[in-house]
Amino acid sequence: MSSLNDLPRDEYAFPGPLRDRLVVAILDGRKTSTTALLAETQHEGEPLPSPGDRRVVVDSDDRPVCITEVTEVRVVRLDEVDLAHAVAEGEGYGTVARWRAAHEEFWHSPLFRAALGDLEFAVDDATPVVLERFSVLPLSAA
């Protein structure tokens, strides 16, 4: 059995109100999917997640709150994201258009751009995104 220290960290958004909302949605079961730009994953040198991968989710105070286990991963074009995925993100998106607008706002934000440094990327219909579904486990599952 591994410990929490052995698991990679999973930080949703940046510390602050958005992360706090996402952590609550994860803990109450509304959020069971997430999306990342493929360019972000490649820039960070991280392998794509795989079913069975486990990570420890941290809150804005850097405290572990739960463990997620990847159940499904797909890489698709941004214009191929479906409503089921958008709804499973647990943020109340009733349409893919609302989901996309919120994500594009985040991806174009100064904080996100600064976090990626000098990485140049565009966000359009053909942008590859990583769609991940996960289940939530208690911290004792480490």
Eight-class DSSP state of 108: T
Cβ neighbours around 126 below 10 Å, total: 10
pLDDT of 1 reads 52
**Residues in contact with 25: Cβ distance below 8 Å, sequence separation at least 6, in sequence order:** 31, 90, 91
Q: Do residues 130 and 73 touch, judged by C-beta distance below 8 A?
A: yes
122 or 106, greater pLDDT: 106
Q: What is the pLDDT of residues 38-87, one digit of tens each?
A: 999 888 888 999 999 999 999 999 999 999 999 999 999 999 999 999 99
Structure token digits, residue 124? 């359009």
Residues 92, 22: Cα–Cα separation, whole Å: 11
Up-side HSE of residue 22: CA atoms within 13 Å toward CB? 19
Is the pLDDT score of 8 beyond 60?
yes
3-state secondary structure of 81: coil
pLDDT of 2 reads 65
Tell how strand 54-58 and strand 9-10 pair up: parallel
pTM for the predicted model, two decimal places: 0.92
Domains of the chain, CATH where assigned:
4-116+126-141 (3.10.400.10)
